Amino acid sequence: MEDIFRIGVITSTHGLKGEVKVFPTTDDVNRFKTLTKCFIRTTKGDLQVEKNTCKFFKNMVIFSFKEFKDINEVENYKNCEIYVTREDAVPLDED
């Protein structure tokens, strides 16, 4: 069984305040509303982050993290994947 699950990919920055556009790779995009912590997978390893804000625009999720306050801090994370651990994953329905 897997212990971590990919829920999205950071495609670009959004605005100047450290928000990113995330392409969701999960069946339930509403899971981003209840998400509290996740990991950004980089070439240097996984970086644990906490959600600050979440909103939706077309097929994308506009997301900000408490750790980043401006565009310069998040630019390096373009094309990085976002993961959650099993304990933070959405529980499956029976059957």
**In order along the chain (95 residues), what is the average pLDDT of each group of 10 residues?**
85 94 90 90 94 93 94 94 80 61
CA nearest neighbour of 14 among 63, 79, 76, 83: 63
**The model's pTM:** 0.87
Provide the pLDDT for residue 4.
87
CA distance 65 to 73: 11
| Tokens read off for 48 | 């644990």
CA nearest neighbour of 7 among 80, 69, 57, 77: 80
Provide the pLDDT for residue 53.
93
In 1-95, which ranges are continuous DSSP H helix?
A: 31-34, 71-74
